[in-house]
Amino acid sequence: MKKSLKKLAFFGVSLAIVLLGFYFYLGNTNERVQNIEVSSSEPEMVVLSASWLKYHPDVQSLYKDADLVVMGKVGTVEPSRKDEYEIVRTNMQFDTQKSYKNVFKDKNTIVIKQVGGTLDGKEWFNTDIPVFKQGEQYVLFLKRHKDLTYGVMSPVSLYKIEGGNAIHKESVRSSSLKDLDSELIKLQGSMELN
Protein backbone atom coordinates (compact mmCIF):
# COMPACT_ATOMS: atom_id res chain seq x y z
CA MET A 1 0.00 0.00 0.00
CA LYS A 2 2.92 2.32 0.74
CA LYS A 3 4.23 1.66 -2.77
CA SER A 4 0.82 2.59 -4.24
CA LEU A 5 0.73 5.86 -2.29
CA LYS A 6 4.27 6.74 -3.37
CA LYS A 7 3.38 6.04 -7.01
CA LEU A 8 0.19 8.10 -6.70
CA ALA A 9 2.06 10.99 -5.04
CA PHE A 10 4.80 10.85 -7.71
CA PHE A 11 2.18 10.81 -10.44
CA GLY A 12 0.30 13.74 -8.84
CA VAL A 13 3.45 15.87 -8.46
CA SER A 14 4.53 15.05 -12.03
CA LEU A 15 1.11 16.01 -13.37
CA ALA A 16 1.17 19.28 -11.42
CA ILE A 17 4.62 20.16 -12.81
CA VAL A 18 3.50 19.41 -16.38
CA LEU A 19 0.30 21.46 -16.00
CA LEU A 20 2.18 24.39 -14.47
CA GLY A 21 4.72 24.20 -17.28
CA PHE A 22 1.95 24.36 -19.90
CA TYR A 23 0.29 27.23 -18.03
CA PHE A 24 3.47 29.32 -18.00
CA TYR A 25 4.40 28.35 -21.57
CA LEU A 26 0.97 29.31 -22.92
CA GLY A 27 0.91 32.49 -20.88
CA ASN A 28 4.29 33.56 -22.26
CA THR A 29 3.37 32.55 -25.79
CA ASN A 30 0.23 34.68 -25.69
CA GLU A 31 2.28 37.56 -24.31
CA ARG A 32 4.79 37.19 -27.15
CA VAL A 33 2.03 37.06 -29.75
CA GLN A 34 0.38 40.15 -28.30
CA ASN A 35 3.65 42.10 -28.54
CA ILE A 36 4.31 41.40 -32.25
CA GLU A 37 4.16 44.62 -34.25
CA VAL A 38 3.23 44.72 -37.90
CA SER A 39 5.18 47.21 -39.95
CA SER A 40 2.95 49.48 -41.99
CA SER A 41 5.85 50.73 -44.13
CA GLU A 42 5.34 47.99 -46.72
CA PRO A 43 1.89 47.57 -48.27
CA GLU A 44 -0.04 44.34 -48.02
CA MET A 45 -0.17 42.47 -51.30
CA VAL A 46 -3.04 40.91 -53.22
CA VAL A 47 -1.81 38.70 -56.06
CA LEU A 48 -3.95 38.66 -59.20
CA SER A 49 -3.69 36.15 -62.01
CA ALA A 50 -5.87 35.94 -65.09
CA SER A 51 -6.86 33.44 -67.71
CA TRP A 52 -6.39 34.60 -71.28
CA LEU A 53 -8.82 33.77 -74.07
CA LYS A 54 -6.26 33.30 -76.80
CA TYR A 55 -2.56 32.64 -77.14
CA HIS A 56 -0.76 34.54 -79.89
CA PRO A 57 2.25 32.50 -81.06
CA ASP A 58 3.79 35.23 -83.23
CA VAL A 59 3.80 38.92 -84.13
CA GLN A 60 1.48 38.34 -87.10
CA SER A 61 -1.30 36.86 -84.94
CA LEU A 62 -0.88 39.66 -82.39
CA TYR A 63 -1.07 42.26 -85.15
CA LYS A 64 -4.17 40.68 -86.69
CA ASP A 65 -6.15 40.65 -83.41
CA ALA A 66 -5.07 44.04 -82.07
CA ASP A 67 -7.20 47.16 -82.43
CA LEU A 68 -4.10 49.33 -82.09
CA VAL A 69 -0.35 48.64 -82.32
CA VAL A 70 1.96 51.38 -81.08
CA MET A 71 5.46 52.09 -79.85
CA GLY A 72 5.83 54.71 -77.15
CA LYS A 73 6.63 55.74 -73.63
CA VAL A 74 4.61 55.61 -70.41
CA GLY A 75 3.76 59.14 -69.29
CA THR A 76 1.73 60.13 -66.25
CA VAL A 77 0.48 57.24 -64.11
CA GLU A 78 -2.81 58.09 -62.39
CA PRO A 79 -3.66 56.96 -58.83
CA SER A 80 -5.19 53.48 -58.75
CA ARG A 81 -8.91 52.95 -58.08
CA LYS A 82 -11.47 50.17 -57.98
CA ASP A 83 -13.76 49.57 -60.92
CA GLU A 84 -17.41 48.51 -60.81
CA TYR A 85 -16.29 44.91 -60.17
CA GLU A 86 -14.10 45.91 -57.17
CA ILE A 87 -10.90 45.19 -59.13
CA VAL A 88 -8.07 47.68 -58.67
CA ARG A 89 -7.01 49.26 -61.94
CA THR A 90 -4.46 51.88 -62.89
CA ASN A 91 -4.77 54.28 -65.83
CA MET A 92 -1.74 55.83 -67.47
CA GLN A 93 -1.00 58.18 -70.31
CA PHE A 94 0.96 56.49 -73.09
CA ASP A 95 2.78 58.83 -75.45
CA THR A 96 2.83 57.15 -78.85
CA GLN A 97 6.02 57.66 -80.83
CA LYS A 98 5.01 55.40 -83.70
CA SER A 99 1.75 53.76 -84.77
CA TYR A 100 1.74 50.53 -86.77
CA LYS A 101 -2.01 49.82 -86.88
CA ASN A 102 -4.91 52.29 -86.81
CA VAL A 103 -2.67 55.30 -86.97
CA PHE A 104 -3.76 58.44 -85.10
CA LYS A 105 -3.58 61.58 -87.17
CA ASP A 106 -4.37 64.13 -84.45
CA LYS A 107 -3.64 62.32 -81.20
CA ASN A 108 -0.26 61.28 -79.80
CA THR A 109 -1.42 60.20 -76.34
CA ILE A 110 -3.75 57.36 -75.39
CA VAL A 111 -4.95 56.10 -72.01
CA ILE A 112 -4.03 52.54 -71.08
CA LYS A 113 -5.97 50.79 -68.32
CA GLN A 114 -4.20 47.98 -66.45
CA VAL A 115 -5.29 45.55 -63.73
CA GLY A 116 -3.27 46.16 -60.57
CA GLY A 117 -1.80 49.05 -58.63
CA THR A 118 -1.65 50.33 -55.05
CA LEU A 119 -4.76 51.45 -53.22
CA ASP A 120 -5.24 52.24 -49.51
CA GLY A 121 -1.83 50.82 -48.59
CA LYS A 122 -2.46 47.52 -50.35
CA GLU A 123 -0.63 46.48 -53.53
CA TRP A 124 -2.67 44.60 -56.13
CA PHE A 125 -0.05 42.76 -58.17
CA ASN A 126 -0.87 41.24 -61.55
CA THR A 127 1.49 38.29 -62.05
CA ASP A 128 1.04 38.32 -65.83
CA ILE A 129 1.42 42.00 -66.68
CA PRO A 130 2.87 44.18 -63.90
CA VAL A 131 1.69 47.81 -63.90
CA PHE A 132 3.85 49.94 -66.19
CA LYS A 133 6.03 52.66 -64.69
CA GLN A 134 6.50 56.20 -65.93
CA GLY A 135 9.32 56.47 -68.47
CA GLU A 136 9.26 52.82 -69.59
CA GLN A 137 9.11 52.22 -73.35
CA TYR A 138 7.07 49.53 -75.06
CA VAL A 139 5.68 48.21 -78.30
CA LEU A 140 2.09 47.31 -77.38
CA PHE A 141 -0.67 45.33 -79.06
CA LEU A 142 -3.86 46.79 -77.61
CA LYS A 143 -7.60 46.23 -77.49
CA ARG A 144 -9.97 49.20 -77.26
CA HIS A 145 -12.38 49.34 -74.32
CA LYS A 146 -15.91 50.79 -74.43
CA ASP A 147 -14.73 53.82 -72.41
CA LEU A 148 -12.17 54.61 -75.17
CA THR A 149 -9.20 53.48 -73.06
CA TYR A 150 -6.96 50.63 -74.20
CA GLY A 151 -5.75 47.44 -72.58
CA VAL A 152 -2.89 45.08 -73.29
CA MET A 153 -4.37 41.99 -75.01
CA SER A 154 -2.39 39.39 -73.03
CA PRO A 155 1.01 38.85 -71.39
CA VAL A 156 2.55 38.05 -74.80
CA SER A 157 1.27 41.23 -76.45
CA LEU A 158 3.99 43.59 -75.29
CA TYR A 159 7.67 44.16 -75.89
CA LYS A 160 9.64 46.26 -73.43
CA ILE A 161 12.19 48.48 -75.18
CA GLU A 162 15.61 48.64 -73.50
CA GLY A 163 18.90 49.57 -75.10
CA GLY A 164 17.73 49.07 -78.68
CA ASN A 165 16.22 45.66 -77.88
CA ALA A 166 12.60 44.53 -77.88
CA ILE A 167 12.36 42.29 -74.81
CA HIS A 168 9.51 39.78 -74.73
CA LYS A 169 8.15 37.69 -71.85
CA GLU A 170 9.07 34.60 -73.86
CA SER A 171 12.79 35.19 -74.38
CA VAL A 172 12.89 33.33 -77.73
CA ARG A 173 10.61 36.07 -79.11
CA SER A 174 12.92 38.91 -78.05
CA SER A 175 14.74 40.70 -80.85
CA SER A 176 16.37 43.97 -81.73
CA LEU A 177 13.97 46.91 -81.90
CA LYS A 178 15.07 47.40 -85.51
CA ASP A 179 13.97 43.85 -86.45
CA LEU A 180 10.61 44.18 -84.67
CA ASP A 181 10.04 47.58 -86.28
CA SER A 182 10.76 46.11 -89.75
CA GLU A 183 8.38 43.21 -89.15
CA LEU A 184 5.59 45.54 -88.02
CA ILE A 185 6.10 47.86 -91.01
CA LYS A 186 5.80 44.83 -93.34
CA LEU A 187 2.59 43.75 -91.59
CA GLN A 188 1.26 47.29 -91.82
CA GLY A 189 1.92 47.32 -95.56
CA SER A 190 0.36 43.90 -96.14
CA MET A 191 -2.79 44.84 -94.17
CA GLU A 192 -3.21 48.04 -96.16
CA LEU A 193 -3.23 46.00 -99.38
CA ASN A 194 -6.13 43.84 -98.14
Per-residue pLDDT of 103-156, as tens digits, reads 766 678 999 999 988 888 888 888 888 899 999 999 999 999 998 899 999 999
State residue 11's pLDDT score: 52
> What mean pLDDT is predicted for residues 178-193?
88
Beta-bridged to residue 63, according to DSSP, are none
| Positive or negative torsion for Cα 139, 145, 147, 148 | positive
State residue 177's pLDDT score: 97
Q: What band does 24 get if pLDDT is binned at 50, 70 and 90?
A: very low
Amino acid (1-letter code) at residue 184: L
State residue 42's pLDDT score: 59
State residue 37's pLDDT score: 38
State the Cα–Cα distance between residues 14 and 90, nearest whole angstrom: 63
Least confident segment among 10-24, 41-55, 92-106, 173-187: 10-24
Please provide the average confidence, as pLDDT, over all residues in the chain. Answer: 80
- Residue 25 φ/ψ region, left for φ over 0, alpha for ψ in the -120 to 50 degree band, beta for the rest: alpha
Residue 63 has pLDDT above 70, yes or no: yes
